[in-house]
Amino acid sequence: MAFAPMSIDMYLPGLPAIAADFGAETSAVQFTLASFFIGLALGQAIHGPLADRYGRKPPLYAGLALYVVASIGCALAPDLIALIVLRFLQAVGGCAGIVIARAIVRDCCDAHTSARVFSLMMLIMGLAPILAPFLGGWILWLAGWRAIFVVLALFGLGCLIAVWLHLRETRPANTVASTSIGAALRVYGELLHDRHFVGYTLAGSLAHAGMFAYITGSPHVFIEVHGVSAQNFGWLFGLNALGLIASSQVNRHLLARHSADAILRRANRSTAVLGLGLLAIAAGGWGGLPMLLLPLFGYSVSLGFTAPNAMANALAHQGTRAGSASALLGALQFGIATLASTLVGLLGHGSAVPMAAVIAGCGLLAYGAHRWLVGGGTA
């Protein structure tokens, strides 16, 4: 589950250094983020049906091996175009871990238990953004940005060995077994006609996309606009991840008394309000960086309630096609994240407004998707 945050957040402090090394604008280097998001979206659509057909472990072996090779390639990239292509391949390999981890949880747990397990998994999703930019900043200072990708290659190798030694096969015997393109598309079509699956997936994905808008825009806003050093950037980034960790564990305890849907409903309201507050502060220029950090922290906290509950509800009734459902959920999640991060770049630089506008839009759309497709219900 840590492949996305590790691969994204560790190299964020190095974006200005990569731009300087290749003689490119920072906005051009941000396409290495966009290509990674595209790889995450497309790769999951591939790994899901393969995991349903061949079991959970074989696609993990192939994906992690590709990740290791592509990470070494990134470390040796001769130019920006090569780095963009290799980041795409790195994502295609690494996302095997993400999509199959979700499918394994669904193999072993019912909907309510899944929400609690996903909350525990948010510890990993939260710890990685705390440690990765901090570690990346120091690796950048000690050995340059290329060394960051060497460390990521070693991380992938360690995960590959751990899967081989310790992970048991969990695929149910009655799982959908066809891997033909037509069969995979039919399963995806059925899932897209499932109103609740789409509603929960969009509610979680749109809120998640707001975080990716923050990931894309924050190096420019923090380092270049507000003069934060690459090393201190890791501390600020980690603060938001700490909020995400804390809220995901609070969510685990709240699930003992409340339904996952009720918690999700309230969290979606919070993301909409906090996004609008962030946009107002950025547009008005009130309070500088400290005032920007407050709604950003609040938005991160709300994701600890949004992500695990949306995932659990979306996958609740997809037992025999859990791999494909997890793949489609991930593909939509990172596809929307790609659009959000690209939009941040297209809206221009010079202030926090582009980043804040995209985050606000994502929060509002997440609230609307849950309300219109799943139903408002009673909180």
**pLDDT for the residue numbered 333:** 82
- pLDDT surpasses 70 at 220: yes
Local confidence band at 153 (pLDDT 50, 70, 90 cut-offs): very high
**pLDDT for the residue numbered 91:** 92
User: Is residue 241 in a domain?
Assistant: yes
The whole-number average pLDDT for the span 145-150 is 91
> Which range (13-27, 64-78, 315-329) has the least confidence?
315-329
Local confidence band at 173 (pLDDT 50, 70, 90 cut-offs): low
**pLDDT for the residue numbered 320:** 64
> Which of 47-56, 279-288, 354-363 tops mean pLDDT?
354-363
- pLDDT surpasses 50 at 379: no
Question: Looking at per-residue confidence, does 275 or 351 come out higher?
Answer: 275
Q: Residues for the chain: how many in total?
A: 379
Average pLDDT in the chain: 82
The total number of structural domains that make up the chain: 1
Local confidence band at 376 (pLDDT 50, 70, 90 cut-offs): low
- pLDDT surpasses 50 at 235: yes
- Give the CATH number of the domain where residue 228 resides: 1.20.1250.20
The whole-number average pLDDT for the span 36-53 is 79
The tokens for 152 are 């990521």
Domain residues for 332? 3-170+179-374
**pLDDT for the residue numbered 156:** 92
> Which range (93-107, 222-236, 330-344, 361-375) has the least confidence?
222-236
**pLDDT for the residue numbered 180:** 62
- pLDDT surpasses 80 at 311: yes
- pLDDT surpasses 80 at 140: yes
The whole-number average pLDDT for the span 201-205 is 91
- pLDDT surpasses 80 at 30: no
**pLDDT for the residue numbered 111:** 64
**pLDDT for the residue numbered 181:** 66
**pLDDT for the residue numbered 377:** 47
User: Is residue 46 in a domain?
Assistant: yes
- pLDDT surpasses 80 at 39: yes
User: Is residue 92 in a domain?
Assistant: yes
The percentage of residues in the chain with a pLDDT greater than 90, rounded to a whole number, is 22
User: Is residue 379 in a domain?
Assistant: no
- pLDDT surpasses 90 at 42: no
Local confidence band at 174 (pLDDT 50, 70, 90 cut-offs): low
Contact (CB, 8 A) for 311 and 103: no
User: Is residue 98 in a domain?
Assistant: yes
